[in-house]
Structure 1
Amino acid sequence: MTRSLPHQWLIEQQRLGHTLCLVLDSEHEHPTRQALLKSSRPDQYLSVYGQTQVADLADAGPFVFSFDRPGDEHINELLNRPDNHWGWLASLPKGGLPTLVKHWRERLIIGERPHQALYRFHDNRVLARALKHLPVEAYPAYLGPAISVCYWQGTCWASTYNPAPGEYPLPDSPLWLQVPVTPQQAKQTRFLNARRFLLAEHVQAFASLAEQQNPDAWLRVTLDQAEVWHWQAPEQLEFLLTQHLQAPAQALAPYWQVRSAESPDEHFERVRLMAAFWQGDMPP
């Protein structure tokens, strides 16, 4: 496929009478989002996180825009830099923007409390990987009202048609959540979920940390430590984050270090008990 595929796709979808749509990663494309907000009518955009339980993250969450011109300058600027992973394009029935946003809001939160996470549907890498692994008959429940999608899949542009666009309930066991992810995607997902956890549960402490150092850099270093120790379970990550957040500028106490022949679970349980003892949460 050539680099002109998205332009051809946009022209063809409009010729067929469909609404053109951009799913934008607002967090990393803030200037583009602001420019689109200024040039769009109120009925041409929606925040996906708005009116959901993560509405406090709406400013950093994905926005969906409909637009009228295949040659829109803001869209062209995005198409010229696909490796920035800004999101993807979709075509919809006329007036289908609210339905598409409703569709993804219903698929946004994955997992059970207290170990819920956000599904990064707006990441073109997530979309491309799901469509690569899903059987065609699973496309409708995944893509919902989208008639067709166009996205960068790492080395080239691709487009995929939905065989039965429409509104579908969330399956009990969504196949797209069983798609294997790359180590890089898993690491980025852990980072985003960890930051969401800190903003939701420890916002004041996280804000204080930001006054002293770069909070994202601190978070990445802390998660790298968790990876070295093979602490990847939600309760292990939450424990490390909350404990380290109490004194983020200080090194962890010596008893945190792994001992010879100690398994990750044994290491975690020992450190958890030691931390509780030194903090007076349990008797000696």
Structure 2
Amino acid sequence: MSPVSPWQWIEEQHRQGRELCLILDSLGEMETRQTLLNGRACDRYASVYDQTSVARLANAGPYLILLSRADTEALSGLLGAPERNWGWLASIAQGDLPALLEHWRQRFLLDSRPNQALYRFHDNRTLTRALDHLSPDALPPYLGPTISLCYWQGEHWLALDNPAPGEYPLPAMPEWLQVPTPGRLRGQVHVINVYRYLLAHHYEALRQLARHRRPLAWIHAQRMQAEQWGWLEQEHLQFLALHSLPRPGYGVPDAWNPRPDETPHMHFERVSQMAGFSQGEGVL
């Protein structure tokens, strides 16, 4: 795949008579979402999590929004800031939004209770890793009714055509769930997992954070702090994020900084004890 201009890709989809669909991460783009939904007919968008077992997360979950040329300004804002990892673009046949919605509703929830997890198909980084590893035969069951897609790969825009768009049952062993996770992506996986934890267990606090900060960017900053302290495990990041979330400025007190004679383990144990004494101060 070669780099493309997203605007040229969009024009080609319009020329082919296809519908243009925005797959949007709502939690980080609520203002953009509201702008796009204002006055839009209800059959021109859908919340993926709505009417599912995780409907309580619908407001912060992914949305599918059919775009028109009138949405150029809002779309320009997104295309001009791909580093926000807001999602990706797909083209579908006229009238295929319900099929696309059902397709991803069958694929976003992994495992069964109590070990359920959310597959972040709407995250262009998740999409990129999958597309980098999927065999040609696995592309149609993964992409479903999507005819073509355009996404930010991390350095440039790429486009990919689905070799056989259509409706497919969920495979027993989806190939996209077997994508290897390189060591360099370990920290990113920790960020996503902590985000999922906060979304599932501390949604209101996360929603309040989203009014001032981009949640994933904030958790990433927490990870950088944790790694600077030598706290390298996911439980360390989860602890730091959980106890920073209710504090003014979403940070930690100076007393939590490491002492010169402390190992990372000693530091974490001391801070854990301090946090234990102040549990009643937070909102979580």
TM-score normalised to the size of structure 1? 0.71
CA gap 1:13/1:202 in 2 versus in 1, 3 angstroms: closer
Quote the residue 2:34 is aligned against.
Answer: 34
Quote the residue 2:103 is aligned against.
Answer: 103
CA contact (8 A) 1:118 1:193 kept: no
CA gap 1:57/1:138 in 2 versus in 1, 3 angstroms: same
Give me the whole-angstrom Cα distance separating, in 1, the residues matched to 2:165 and 2:187: 32
Is 1:144 the counterpart of 2:149 in the alignment?
no
Return the offset for 1:240: 6.7
- Structure 2 counterpart of 1:120, one-letter code: R
CA contact (8 A) 1:11 1:70 kept: no
Quote the residue 2:81 is aligned against.
Answer: 81
Quote the residue 2:172 is aligned against.
Answer: 172
CA contact (8 A) 1:124 1:153 kept: yes
CA gap 1:183/1:121 in 2 versus in 1, 3 angstroms: farther
Give me the whole-angstrom Cα distance separating, in 1, the residues matched to 2:101 and 2:57: 16
Structure 1 window deviating more from structure 2 (219-228 vs 25-34): it is 219-228
Return the offset for 1:203: 7.1
Return the offset for 1:195: 4.7
CA gap 1:24/1:219 in 2 versus in 1, 3 angstroms: closer
Secondary structure at 2:69 match in 1:
coil
CA gap 1:220/1:151 in 2 versus in 1, 3 angstroms: closer
Secondary structure at 1:23 match in 2:
strand
Secondary structure at 1:170 match in 2:
coil
Quote the residue 2:48 is aligned against.
Answer: 48
Give the unaligned 5+ runs of structure 1.
252-256, 260-270, 276-284
Quote the residue 1:120 is aligned against.
Answer: 120
CA gap 1:168/1:147 in 2 versus in 1, 3 angstroms: same
CA contact (8 A) 2:24 2:63 kept: yes
Larger radius of gyration: 1
Give me the whole-angstrom Cα distance separating, in 2, the residues matched to 1:51 and 1:147: 26
CA contact (8 A) 2:21 2:89 kept: yes
Residue by residue, what CA displacement relative to the aligned partner does 1:179-210 show, whole Å, maximum 9, x if unpaired? 12355754444344445445545779x79xx9
TM-score normalised to the size of structure 2? 0.71
- Structure 2 counterpart of 1:35, one-letter code: T
Quote the residue 1:154 is aligned against.
Answer: 154
Number of residue equivalences: 255
Give the unaligned 5+ runs of structure 2.
245-251, 257-263, 274-284
In percent, how many aligned pairs have the same letter? Answer: 46
CA gap 1:218/1:143 in 2 versus in 1, 3 angstroms: closer
Q: Where in structure 1 do 4 or more consecutive aligned residues deviate above 2 Å? A: 111-116, 180-204, 216-232, 248-251
Return the offset for 1:77: 1.9
- Structure 2 counterpart of 1:46, one-letter code: A
CA contact (8 A) 1:10 1:70 kept: no
Give me the whole-angstrom Cα distance separating, in 2, the residues matched to 1:182 and 1:64: 30
Residue by residue, what CA displacement relative to the aligned partner does 1:198-245 show, whole Å, maximum 9, x if unpaired? 5545779x79xx9xxx9x77998599769957655xxx78x979x989
Residue by residue, what CA displacement relative to the aligned partner does 1:138-172 show, whole Å, maximum 9, x if unpaired? 11010000000001111111100001111111111
Quote the residue 2:22 is aligned against.
Answer: 22
- Structure 1 counterpart of 2:167, one-letter code: E
